[in-house]
Amino acid sequence: MKKSVKMGMLGLALVIPSFLLLFATVVVPILVSFKESLTNEEGGYDLSNYNYLFTDKLMRSNIVFTLEVTVISVVLVLIISYALAAYMRFNQGKLVKWIRSMYMIPIFIPSVIATYGLIQLLGNHGWVARLLLLVGGGSLPRIIFDMKGIIIAQMWFNIPFTTMLLGSALAGVPDSIMESAKDVGAGRIKLFTRFIVPLTYKTLLVAVTFVFMGVIGSFTAPFLLGPNAPQMLGVSMEQIFGVFQEKQQAAALAFFTFLLCSFMGFFYIRSMIKEEGARS
């Protein structure tokens, strides 16, 4: 047997266990959920459950609300994380050292504890509200238990990890490129748009994908900090399945959420394929 054939067989043998695990834990549940989502009350198959998602007024508002929270959270997380990563990359001093030693702390705080902390901090009777009353600043405007509370929580959860990703990408930008661009008269805006962003675009796309999927599928913060209506899709799914016992509708909502994440993942995979094609 040729050496190339042996190496090919060895490669397949190494890949097959991972593929089978992925198939059993990801592909099979997706297919089962899709089949369940097509099942109607009579036991037949149709699109009635999906029709419910887009014709019911409350479900439509939940979908729109989820997309609004997700898009706003992704944009804010990327802006703040990129600013922090760029500041740490191109500056020195005590403030940079302090940021580097502190920005990763939220990663090690469980989401339930962090959410409870936000309630104690920003609630109607929280620390900030009591401090305002003491200094005569009036009552605190409503911050949590609506969209703002969820977005604040998502920023807390996602900024550290995103900053770490972007910081690693920015660390790979050669100083020689920056210095050469400055020598020919490139300003800060041109440096950022013509050099920094293109060199970190791949990591930026990875960060967008991870943050998008993390926010749209989140449950703890939307459940504890979100409004009663409209709701994020994760909270709505739990209520449909656990409270109303509508298994088929919950499956339809789960598969629809999977499609939203797949839509975002499509752009990442397409970008990676184009990059590999350009390299070859």
pLDDT at 180: 83
For residues 210 and 223, give the distance between their C-alpha atoms in angstroms, rounded to a whole number: 21
User: Is this model's pTM higher than 0.75 or not?
Assistant: yes
Q: What are phi and psi of 39, to 5 degrees?
A: -85, 130
For residues 177 and 183, give the distance between their C-alpha atoms in angstroms, rounded to a whole number: 10
pLDDT at 51: 92
pLDDT at 278: 62
Q: Please write down the HEC assignment for all residues of the chain.
A: CCHHHHHHHHHHHHHHHHHHHHHHHHHHHHHHHHHHHCECCCCCECCHHHHHHHHCHHHHHHHHHHHHHHHHHHHHHHHHHHHHHHHHHHCCCHHHHHHHHHCCHHHHCCHHHHHHHHHHHHCCCCHHHHHHHHCCCCCCCCCCCCHHHHHHHHHHHHHHHHHHHHHHHHHCCCHHHHHHHHHCCCCHHHHHHHHHHHHHHHHHHHHHHHHHHHHHCCCHHHHHHCCCCCCCHHHHHHHHHHHCCCHHHHHHHHHHHHHHHHHHHHHHHHHHHHHHHHHC
CB 111 within 8 A of CB 249: no
| Separation of first and last alpha carbons in the chain | 29
Q: Which two tokens stand for residue 182?
A: 């400055």
Domains belonging to the chain, first-starting first, are 55-279 (1.10.3720.10)
For residues 186 and 170, give the distance between their C-alpha atoms in angstroms, rounded to a whole number: 18
Peptide bond preceding 106 in cis form (omega within 30 of 0):
no
The Cα angle at residue 107 between residues 118 and 154, in degrees rounded to 5: 50
Nearest to 63 by CA among 53, 73, 72: 53
- Placement of tokens 């067989």 in the chain: 9
One digit per residue, pLDDT tens: the chain, 280 residues? 677 777 778 888 888 888 899 889 888 988 999 999 999 888 889 999 999 999 999 999 999 999 999 999 999 999 999 999 999 988 888 889 898 888 888 989 998 999 999 999 888 888 888 888 888 767 777 888 889 999 999 999 999 999 999 999 998 888 888 888 887 777 878 888 888 888 888 889 889 999 999 999 899 999 999 888 899 999 999 999 888 888 899 999 999 999 988 888 887 787 777 766 666 6
- Placement of tokens 């009777």 in the chain: 125
> Computed over its alpha carbons, how large is the radius of gyration of the chain?
24
